[in-house]
Amino acid sequence: MYKTKKIAHSLSLLGLATCIGLSSSSLTAGVLSVNASAQSSYAKTKYPLLFTHGMFGFSRVGVAEFGLDYWYQILPDLARNGATTFAAQISPLESTEVRGEQLLQQVEEVLAITGKPKVNLIGHSHGGPTIRYVEAVKPQYVASLTGVGATFRGSKVADDLLSNQASSQLLSIATDYIIGPLITFAEGNPALKSDLHASLTSISEQGSQVFNQKYPTTALAADCSKSGATSNNGIYYYSWTGTSQVTNVIDVADSAISLLAPISYISTDNDGLVARCSTHFGKVIRDNYDWNHLDEVNQVLGLRGLFSPDPVDVYRQHANRLKLQGL
């Protein structure tokens, strides 16, 4: 019976991939290198850029010709401007330490591919603490850390979900056995496991406090009224975030999730999922972009507020900032 169910599960995933135009032979596991013909050296950093996704994230589902990047249109633009860019492929739902160990392996893979001794790590949402883990255990690999809408001090949304045991159990079943496996299959790495409870625990305010005590950093100030260190032992720290919720009424996915933080915090001083304070890390580039949590990675499909800054431009400018810093 178990074997039959397992075969049926695999066939259902294969069927989904076929429906959306993917083939298992075109999907590959491991760090994703994004290449393009360089038209300038504006974003040509000394060390490669490795991007790390957040919860429910992925590097790319599908293939270059027909697929969707988590960092929508961002990495190809950087490559056209001279950057060496990679997207990490780690569990969409797991603890910070499990994701961090997965990322560490891909950091070493990037170092081997490029021949460089260090990388610039950029993490969105749960990707923020994940890149922090790599610095904590292998600081010699890291040139800089950049958090984007990152859960450095956690999100109360996670605490509230965990406190509702019945809801969190139902969500765990849906995510651990359906959504998570579909994401990892679609990006070509079904071996990656999903654990919603571990993920929520890690990004909760309580779980984040435990992580920060275990892996302290000078980039996080004692409280949000103060500023953290902008560098330490040659490693530079940066962050930015948005503080909007519904930015485009056509973007239904954005609008739906962006109501969670205002309910949890009873405040709009957040990007819909993460409070402004939680994202402050090192040199804060800006903490009030007219973006919500998905706008920060140019999702969904580039839909955002009519007059809001283009995230693609912001990442390109940041790569130039790293370049000028000698990173």
- Which amino acids are annotated catalytic? 125, 271, 293
In three-state form (DSSP H/G/I as H, E/B as E, the rest C), the secondary structure along the chain is CHHHHHHHHHHHHHHHHHHCCCCHHHCCCCCEEECCCCCCCCCCCCCCEEEECCCCCCCEEECCCCEEECCCCHHHHHHHCCCCEEECCCCCCCCHHHHHHHHHHHHHHHHHHHCCCCEEEEEECCHHHHHHHHHHHCHHHEEEEEEECCCCCCCHHHHHHHHCHHHHHHHHHHHHHHHHHHHHHHCCCCCCCCCHHHHHHHHCHHHHHHHHHHCCCCCCCCCCCCCCCCEECCEEEEEEEECCCCCCCCCHHHHHHCCHHHHHHCCCCECCCCEHHHHCCCEEEEEEECCCCCHHHCCCCCCCCCCCCCHHHHHHHHHHHHHHCCC
Per-residue confidence (pLDDT) for residue 107, from 0 to 100: 98
Q: Is 227 a residue whose pLDDT tops 70?
A: yes
Does residue 1 have a pLDDT over 80?
A: no
Q: What is the mean pLDDT of the chain?
A: 90
Give the domain ranges of the chain: 26-324
Question: Tens digits of per-residue pLDDT, 286-319?
Answer: 999 999 999 999 999 999 999 999 999 999 999 9
**pLDDT the model gives residue 8:** 36
Quick: pLDDT tens for 242-298: 999 999 989 888 878 888 999 999 999 999 999 999 999 999 999 999 999 999 999
What is the architecture of the domain spanning 26-324?
3-Layer(aba) Sandwich (3.40)
pLDDT the model gives residue 245: 94
**Low-confidence winner among 62-66, 104-108, 322-326 (lowest mean pLDDT):** 62-66
pLDDT exceeds 70 at position 160: yes
> In this predicted structure, which of 30-44, 124-138, 244-258, 268-282 has the lowest mean pLDDT?
244-258
Whether residue 12 is predicted with pLDDT greater than 60 in this model: the reply is no
Please say if the pLDDT value at position 73 is more than 90. yes
Using pLDDT thresholds of 50, 70 and 90, give the confidence band for residue 83: very high
Confidence at residue 66, expressed as pLDDT on a 0 to 100 scale: 78
Q: Is the pLDDT of residue 16 over 80?
A: no
Instruction: Specify the pLDDT at position 225.
Output: 81
Average pLDDT over residues 320-327: 98
Q: How confident is the model at residue 129 (pLDDT cuts 50, 70, 90)?
A: very high
Residue 4, pLDDT score: 35
